[in-house]
Amino acid sequence: MANKIVRASFFKRDPLTCARELIGTELIWDDCSGIVVEVEAYAAINDEAAHTFTRPSARSFIERNHAGAAYVYFNYGMHWMLNVLVKGDENGFVLIRALEPRKGMGKMKKRRGLDDVRRLCSGPGKLTQALGITGRDHEMDLCADRQHCFARNTSTPMDVVADTRIGITRSAHYPWRFTLRGSEFVSRAVKLERGAPAMPPHEKARRSSPLH
Helices (H), 23-123: 56-64, 105-112, 117-120
* Nearest CA-CA partner of 195 in 178, 182, 173, 172: 178
> Is-contact 86 15, C-beta < 8 A?
yes
Predicted pLDDT at 209: 31
From first to last of its 212 residues, what are the pLDDT tens digits of the chain? 457 999 999 999 999 999 999 999 999 999 999 999 999 999 998 888 889 988 888 899 999 999 999 999 998 777 999 999 999 989 999 999 999 999 999 999 999 999 999 999 999 999 999 999 999 999 999 999 999 999 998 777 889 999 999 988 898 899 999 999 999 999 998 875 444 444 444 444 333 333 32
Measured from the Cβ of residue 155, the count of other Cβ atoms closer than 10 Å reads: 6
Predicted pLDDT at 199: 43
Predicted pLDDT at 190: 85
Predicted pLDDT at 121: 98
Q: How far apart are CA 137 and CA 146, in angstroms?
A: 15
What predicted TM-score, i.e. pTM, was given to this entire model? 0.88
> Is-contact 152 143, C-beta < 8 A?
no
